[in-house]
């Protein structure tokens, strides 16, 4: 592994994490929905779409920007750990319908977003 790839992952991860924080907080404040973790849902779906776009692009063009944008930025921007913790909290609080809806909608819409992003670049 080259040092340049590590630096790109580091920079992309930092930028992605900061943007995740900003988008998540802004979404939560703007829509003010307390019963559903909309901030995390939003960043994860946007991240799925971006990784679809970027993955399709970097199949055609292989360079170090994939480390910055896919591994770093998308990895820092999306968050499976927060998604899991929010699901655990919903479960602990007995919000079973929201829990099931959150899991299913995240997976189904996330897969569709990756597919849509990939198809936009592929075609």
Domain of 103?
A: 3-122
Half-sphere exposure of 19 (CA within 13 A, CB side): 19
pLDDT digits (tens, 9 = 90+) for 75-114: 999 999 999 999 999 999 999 999 999 999 999 999 999 9
* Residue 71 neighbours by CB distance under 10 Å: 18
Ligand-binding site membership of 117 (annotated) = no
pLDDT digits (tens, 9 = 90+) for 2-48: 999 999 999 999 999 999 999 999 999 999 888 899 999 999 999 99
* No. of helices (H) and no. of strands (E), the chain: 6, 0
> Rounded CA gap, 74 and 49, in Å?
10
Count structural domains, the chain. 1
Ligand-binding site membership of 40 (annotated) = no
Report the predicted TM-score, pTM, of the whole model to 2 decimal places: 0.92
Residue 53 has pLDDT above 90, yes or no: yes
Q: Which residue has the higher pLDDT, 1 or 96?
A: 96
């Amino acid at each position: 592994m080259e040092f340049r790839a590590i630096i790109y992952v580091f920079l992309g991860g930092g930028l992605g994490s900061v943007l995740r924080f900003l988008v998540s907080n802004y979404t939560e404040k703007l829509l003010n929905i307390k019963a559903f973790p909309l901030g995390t849902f939003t960043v994860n779906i946007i991240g799925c779409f971006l990784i679809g776009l970027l993955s399709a692009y970097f199949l055609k063009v292989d360079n170090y920007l994939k480390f910055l944008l896919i591994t770093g930025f998308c990895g820092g921007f999306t968050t499976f750990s927060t998604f899991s913790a929010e699901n655990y909290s919903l479960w602990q609080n007995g919000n079973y319908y929201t829990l099931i809806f959150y899991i299913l909608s995240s997976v189904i819409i996330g897969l569709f977003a990756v597919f849509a992003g990939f198809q936009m670049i592929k075609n």
